[in-house]
Amino acid sequence: MCSAVKKPNLFASYSMRQPRVMFAFLAALLSITLPATMSAEKPFSFKDTPGKLPKEVIPTDYSIRIVPNIDKLTFTGTETVKLDVRNPVHRLVLNALELQISEASLDGKPLPKSAIKIDSEKELLILALPSEAAAGRGELAAGAHTLALSFSGKINQQGQGLFYMRYQEQGSGAKNIMLGTQFEATDARRFFPCWDEPAFRARFQLTAVVPENWLAVSNMPVENETLLDGSDPAVAGGRPGLDTSSGAPGGRVLPPRNALKEVRFEATPPMSSYLSVFVAGELDLIESRSGQTQIRVITTKGKAELGRYALEVTAQILQYYNDYFGVPYPLPKLDQIALPGGFGGAMENWGGITYYESALLFDPKNSSAKTKQVIYEVIAHETAHQWFGDLVTMAWWDNLWLNEGFASWMGSKCTAHFNPQWEVWLQRSVPRDPTRRAGIPKEAAMEGDARSTTHPIQQRIATEAEANSAFDDITYKKGQSFLRMLESFLGEDVFRDGIRRYIAAHKYSNTTTADLWNALSEASKKPIGEIAAGWTQQPGFPVVKVKREGDEKVQLTQERFTANFKNAPPLNWKIPLTYSVTGKMPASLLMTSKIESLRNIPADRALKLNINGAGNYRVEYDEPSWKSLVEALPKLGIEDRVNLLSDAWALVQAGRAPVSLYFGLVEQLPASTELAEREQIINVLDFINRLLVVSSVREEFQRYARSVLHPTFETLGWEPKQGELPAAGNLRASLINALGDLNDPEIIAGCRERFEKFLANPASLAPDLRPSVLAVVGRYAEEQIWSKLHELGLKTTSIEEKQNYYSALAESIDPRLMKKTLSIALTDELPTSRAVFLVPAIARESGHPDIAWEFAKANMKTLLDKTDAAGANRYAPSLFSFFSDAGRADELKSFAKANLPPASAPEVAKVVDEVQFRAEFQKRLAPQLNTWISGKNR
C-alpha cells in the first residue's frame, strides 16, 4: 500500500562524489561481525513461516464465482480449490470472516452441516472430514484433492473485503454506485474462504456476474463474457443491479432485469490472496501499450481523460522498472483504477492497482502542481510493488518492510530520476502533517523512533490484527532510509545487481529479509546481513556528540537518542559517519565503538557531520563547534542547512538544548526561498502554535513567528513569476497556510479578497493556491461563508475539489461551525474514508480537540463502521493526538480498556506517549519562548 514526495543542484553535485566518501570505509564496515545480542534471520522456509494455518494442506488453484446483489448489499459465491495435501489430515483449516457457508464437499462428497464450523474470533473455517484425506504421491502430489464451497457474505460500506461506493457522475451529477475490493492485510477472507496468509501462494481464477452495462476488472484480462437471462439459478435470488432502495439513483433508468453478464477472467500466476482484486461499475477507460504490456486507466464515467497523465507516467515508470529489476513485468496488462471512495490511499493488487481518485486523476485546468507530483510518486510506489511485494512477497507480516520500505525507496528513486526539479530526496528530510499518511518522510520516522513505543524495522507480528498496525513510519520510511544508505555503501551498480539476483531467484515465491541480504552479499562479495542487523533488528538510532579537545582533536561519542523515554536501554550502532571541514574534501569514519576521535581538525574551521543529512543519526555539537557552524552557514549547501535545522529542533524536543539554539540558527540563515529549508521552519512554527493553544505566550509567539515568515512571503508575493520553479509555488502555498494559521491580518484579508473573486470567476485563483486560500477563508469563516463552501463541496464532482472545500470547513475555529462540520461525518456526502477524517482534522485544526473527541465518543460505532482495516486500530486513539493535557492520556487508557480491542494497544501506547510528551514539552517550552521573545523585543 502507499503510504506517498525535491533536490537542489547542490545535492546532485554531492551525489557524484559521495561514493568516494562511502567506499573509504566500506571494507572496514563489511568486516564487522553480527552482535551477539541479535540473531541472524533465516532464509524463507514455508514450514517455518509464522501463521495460524496448518502447513499440511496447500491450495494450488482457486476457481471462484461471485454474484453481487447490490439491492441487498450482499453477495453469493461458489468456489473450487485444488489442494496439495502433504500429510494425511482429518480436517481442513482455512480462513473465513463474515461469511456463511451453505455447502461444502471434498472430492465430490458432500460434508454434513455438522462438519462445518466457523470460529469467528480466530477468523477460521474448520471442516471436519469423515475420513482421512490422504497425502498426494507421485503425479498426484499437486492437486490431489478438490474442495468445493458455497457461501454468502455482505458488501461493506468501508474498504474491507468487497465494498460499495456511492458517487456523483461527472457532468450530470447523477448518483451512482460501484463495487471494489480491499484485501490487505487480511480481508480476502471476507470475499471468499481461502488460505489468507502470504506464504500460501496459489493461482486465482475469478468469475463475476454483473449488469450487462458494467465493466468488470480483476488481476488478469477477461477470458470470456457470457450474457445471462433471469433463469440463471445463481442470479435468481437477486439481480446485481443498482441500489433501488430509494428509487433509481439520479432518476436513471435501470437496465432490464435480465440484462446480466458473466465475466470470466484468466487465471493469475501463483500469488498471495491479499493481492486479488475485483472492481465493477459503469466505468470508462483509456489505454496504451508499453512493450508487451497493455496499460489502462479506469475511472467512473466521464473522468477517463483525467487519467491521461497517469497513463503516460505509468508507461515511463514501467519501462524504467523493467530495466532496473532485470525481470520484465510478467502480466499481460496493468490497470490503474480510480475509486471514488472506500479507502484513502492506494493498493498494489497485482495487475489491477486501485487508487483513491485524487491520487490518480489530474485535471490540467484545476489540479495543483503538488497534486501532479503526488500522483507520480504514488504510481511509482505502487508500480514498484508489482515486483517487490507481488512477484516476490514477504513470507509473513514481520517482514512487511521488504514490501513497503523497498517500494518507498524505489518509488522515490524513480521519481527523482525523471523529475529532479521536485527535489524528492531533500523533501524527504522535512516533516509533514502527521495526520496524513501519504509521504511521511524520514524526519517523522526519526521522531517516532526516538520514543519508548518504537520498534525495529523487522518487528514481530503475532496475529492478523497486529498486521494492520504494522503499516507505520518505521516500516515505510526508516526502511527506505536504510536501503538508500546501503545503496550508497555498495554503489548503485552493485546494489542493483543484488536486487536483480533477488528477484530472479525468488520470483513467484516468498522471502525473508535474509534472502535479500544473501542476494546483496553475493553481488558485493561482502556479508551484508552482518552490517544490517544493528539497523533493522534493534529499535532507535544514535546521536553523535561532538567535542573539541584542542590539538586539532575532536572527540565523538555515540549514545541512543531518545525523547520522552527515561531509562532507555543503551544500544550501539556501527555508524557510517561522513564529515566535512571547510576548505577540505569530505571524509568518512566508521564508528564502531562508543567513543572515537577525529584528528587534524583545525580549531578555526567549521566541522559538519552527516553530510547532506543522508545518515540516519543526529549530531549534537559542543558550543565552539556550533558557533563555527553558524558562522559558516552561508557556505553550506541547502541539504546541510536543513539537516542542522532538523537536528537542532530534535535536540530541543529531547530536552538536550533550549529553544534559543533553534531560533538562533533560524535567524542566522541567509535570506532564501528554498522550499525544504523554509518548510522545515514552517512546520516547527506550526507545531509550536498548536502546542500553545491555551498558553498565555501564544499571542506573542504568533507575532514573532509572523516576523520570521513574512520576509520570505514578501519576496515570493501572491502571484507566480515568469519562469518560476514548482518549488516556489509550493512554498507560496505553504506560507499562506502558515501565516493564516498565525492570524496574519494581511494574509487573511488577501485570502478573503481572492475567494470573492474566485466565486465570480474560478479561473482567477490559480490551482496551486486554492487549497491554502480556501483553508484560510474557512478558518475565519462566518456562517454565510461556511454555507457557501459547503454548497461548493456538495456541487462539485471532482474528488480533489471536494477535498479542498470540505478541508476548508474542517479549519473553522468557531465551535458552532465545528459541530456542523462534524455532523457531516455521519452522512454520505463524502466517501467513507474521507468522511471519518473530518473528525481528526477538526481535532488538529480547530484548537479544540475536546469538541472533536466528545462528538466521536458519542458516535464511535458509526464512525468505525466507515473506517477501513488500516485505520480501524488507529482511529479512536488518533483523536487524542493533539491534546496537551496529561490527564487526557489517562482518559485514553481508560477508554481503550473499556472499548477497544487488544490489537489497538500499540496505537494507544503511541498516543499516550505523544500526549504525555506534548504536556511536558509545553510546560518546558513556554517559559523558554517567553525569554527568547522578550529578549528580541528589548
Active site amino acids = 382
Q: Residue 499 CB: number of other CB atoms within 10 A?
A: 23
Phi, psi of 439 (to 5 degrees): 80, 20
CB 411 within 8 A of CB 376: no
Intra-chain end-to-end CA distance of the chain, in Å: 53
Would you say 361 and 304 are in contact if contact means Cβ atoms under 8 Å apart? Answer: no
CA distance 927 to 933: 10
Q: What is the largest CA-CA distance in the chain?
A: 94
The DSSP 8-state label assigned to residue 918 in this structure reads H
Cell triple for 178:
460501484
Instruction: Give the residue from 66, 65, 68 showing the smallest Cα distance to 241.
Output: 68
| 143 contacts: CB under 8 Å, gap ≥ 6 | 60, 61, 82, 83, 84, 136
Q: Is it true that the peptide bond before 185 is cis, omega within 30 degrees of 0?
A: yes
Length of the chain: 938
The helix-helix angle for 783-795 and 799-809 (nearest 10°) equals 160
Angle in degrees, CA 443, 449, 453, rounded to 5: 140
The answer to whether 558 and 573 have CB atoms below 8 angstroms apart is yes
- 8 A C-beta contact, residue 286 and residue 296: yes
- C-alpha closest to that of 579 among 551, 627, 619, 534: 619
Smallest CA-to-CA distance from 444 within 458, 455, 459, 433 is with 433
Grid coordinates representing 570 are: 543503551
Cβ atoms within 10 Å of 892's Cβ, excluding its own: 23
Distance CA 289, CA 9 (A): 34
Give the phi and the psi of residue 128 in degrees, each rounded to 5: -80, 130
Residue whose grid cell is 530541543: 652
Question: Nearest 5 degrees, angle CA 419-CA 420-CA 421?
Answer: 90
How far apart, in whole angstroms, are the C-alpha atoms of residue 590 and residue 26?
Answer: 8
Radius of gyration of the chain (CA): 28
Query: Is residue 331 helix, strand or coil?
Result: coil
User: CA-CA distance, 366 to 544, in Å (whole number)?
Assistant: 47
| Rounded distance between C-alpha atoms, residue 56 and residue 485, angstroms | 41
Residue whose entry in the numeric block shows the C-alpha cell 480533489? 800
- Order of strands, sheet of 352-356, starting from the edge strand that comes earlier in the sequence: 283-290, 293-300, 333-339, 352-356, 346-347
Q: What would the grid cell of residue 744 be?
A: 496574519
Identity at 249, one-letter amino acid code: P
Beta bridge partners of 194: 95
342: left (phi over 0), alpha (psi -120 to 50) or beta: left
Give the span between the Cα atoms of 231 and 352, in whole angstroms: 32
**Cα–Cα–Cα angle for 288, 291, 296, rounded to 5 degrees:** 25
Please give the angle made by the CA atoms of 877, 838 and 438, to the nearest 5 degrees. Answer: 75
Phi-psi map region of 33: left, alpha, beta (phi>0 left; psi -120 to 50 alpha): beta
